[in-house]
Amino acid sequence: MADFPSIRITIPTFNAVADIDRTLDSIAAQSSQQECIFTLIVDFGSTDGTIEKILARMGKRLGLMQLPHARWGR
């Protein structure tokens, strides 16, 4: 098996409960070696259940950074 390069994916979110499962499922469906992919979700203060959905999927290849007081597009 060839060595695959590490892939780092950063996903910014804000009240994305309707889309986060589809986004993470799409990443999981990629043909690359899953052990080479690390996903970091940066949440900017979601209040719609986005955090709960992310926490339910947490694992060693998925990280969460919460920045509730950051000003992102607001």
Chain segment 7-53, per-residue pLDDT in tens: 899 999 999 999 999 999 999 898 767 788 999 999 999 999 999 99
Give the per-residue pLDDT at 66. 94
Whole-model pTM? 0.82
pLDDT of residue 33: 78
Mean pLDDT across 45-70: 92
List the Cα angle 19/25/29 in 5-degree steps. 145
HSE-CB for 8 with a 13 A CA cutoff? 4
